[in-house]
Amino acid sequence: MSSFTFLHAADLHLGSPLAGLAAKDAEIAERFAAAGRRAFSDLVTHAIEIRAAFLLIAGDVYDGDWQDLSVGLFFAQQLGRLANAGIPVAIVKGNHDAESVVTRSITLPDNVLNFSAARAETRRLDAHRVALHGRSFAQRAVPDESFARSYPDPVPGWLNIGLLHTSCDGYAAHATYAPCAPAELAARGYDYWALGHVHEYAQVWEDPPIVFPGNLQGRSVRECGPKGAVAVDVADGRIAGLRRIVLDHARWAHAEIDLSGAEDETEALERVGAALRPHAVEAQGRLLALRVSLRGTTPLHDAWAGDRERIAAEVQAAAHRIRDDIWLESLRIGTSRPAQALADRAGLLDPAALLHAIDREPEVRARAEAIIAEIRNKLPGGMSAVDGPDLSEELDALCAEAEALVLARLGGRGC
């Protein structure tokens, strides 16, 4: 058998609405959406440049049903480039682009191998003696069915590769779809498993390699760090090695900044700038969206929590002083006031202590969390599931802001 390289990608989510980001800044949301398309175009270019034997896409090409035909036309155009280069593409449908979800279609080139949703099947690439085994999703939700158990036996003497869109074991942060265990996959006797659905890169089994490539482009602050695909080298009919290919054109990051002891705004903003700089360097010139979380005990707490809009503008300005293409996704003020500020009010009814105690009453928190959850469930698709912060963190931030606003109106006086 000759030596060759194939590419493994998943979770393109073309057409993702990025609703949460769009609500904050429509222009930046459009640039992130364009970054996803550019990432896939670069993957195609890379496949052509290295003369890849084939490309595997393990589900979720699309984010859901198309709003218009442009997303389908873009995908067909890119696959046409691969067809002209003689590179086959094998695709299984995932939960986001299941047969019941995406109702429109555009004819794809002849180099595309699609897998049935009715049953697992084998497609052969004779030129490289490769047997591809896969099954698509018919419905969006298959939380209890293990597709892997029905996959065909390996073809003797061929390189056998399984394509599967699955939550797999050990990824509780991701919704459960077609669950399976890595050991269950390894027992099938295939040489490589090309997985999709989990948006972080992970090799969950060494021999055979069972790999999540992650998505090509992060879509929210929950998807930080480099994103891309995997190149897999084959020599003498065996997997010889694999490596990540970073393809994202925009990046997300979360900066947690300790303001403990910061006595004035100048000092605090200097700490903010120093904490943001490494994220800018790591992004290597890419568009960067940052969530900034402030922590620590500082006399600035009440002033900053009570003037969030101005402070957010100051943090954005600090980011722009580092590089003009860094944007504040959100600001979380989780600081606290010094204990001395409360002690100075000894003998008085302390509104700060009273508010702080109310915030932490279990009944009050339960009612507040229920209200927040109800509001988030009514938001447009994408805003709550992908971009929303953790509910407990969100409530803490809202309580801190409410405390600061009340104290500001009281002029910082005890009662």
The residue among 186, 86, 102 whose CA lies nearest residue 139 is 102
Amino acid at 189: G
pLDDT value for 382: 46
Taking the C-alpha atoms of residue 180 and residue 284, their distance in angstroms, rounded to an integer, is 37
Taking the C-alpha atoms of residue 322 and residue 324, their distance in angstroms, rounded to an integer, is 7
pTM: 0.83
Q: What is the mean pLDDT of each run of 10 residues along the chain (415 residues)?
A: 92 81 76 93 98 96 86 96 98 84 85 93 97 88 70 96 85 60 93 96 96 94 95 96 97 97 96 97 95 96 91 97 94 86 52 61 76 66 48 64 63 45
Taking the C-alpha atoms of residue 141 and residue 96, their distance in angstroms, rounded to an integer, is 9
pLDDT value for 163: 97
pLDDT digits (tens, 9 = 90+) for 285-336: 999 999 999 999 999 998 998 899 999 999 999 999 999 999 999 999 999 8
pLDDT value for 401: 65
| Structure token digits, residue 14 | 């073309």
Backbone angles phi, psi at 199, to 5 degrees: -90, 0
pLDDT value for 321: 97
Asked whether 308 and 333 are in contact (CB, 8 A), the reply is: yes
| Structure token digits, residue 158 | 């061929």
Taking the C-alpha atoms of residue 62 and residue 10, their distance in angstroms, rounded to an integer, is 10
Close Cβ partners of 17 (under 8 Å, ≥ 6 residues apart)? 63, 380, 381, 382
Backbone angles phi, psi at 253, to 5 degrees: -150, 155
C-alpha torsion angle, residues 381, 377, 316, 318 (rounded to 10): -120
Taking the C-alpha atoms of residue 264 and residue 50, their distance in angstroms, rounded to an integer, is 55
pLDDT digits (tens, 9 = 90+) for 226-251: 999 999 999 999 999 999 999 999 99
Taking the C-alpha atoms of residue 93 and residue 59, their distance in angstroms, rounded to an integer, is 4
Taking the C-alpha atoms of residue 28 and residue 403, their distance in angstroms, rounded to an integer, is 32
Amino acid at 98: A
Query: In angstroms, how far is CA 94 from the centroid of its own chain?
Result: 16
Taking the C-alpha atoms of residue 191 and residue 124, their distance in angstroms, rounded to an integer, is 15
Asked whether 219 and 200 are in contact (CB, 8 A), the reply is: no
Helix axes 391-409, 362-377, angle to 10 degrees: 110
Strand order in the sheet with 4-9: 112-114, 89-92, 55-58, 4-9, 228-235, 238-246
Taking the C-alpha atoms of residue 250 and residue 217, their distance in angstroms, rounded to an integer, is 7
Beta bridge partners of 403: none
| Structure token digits, residue 335 | 């600081």
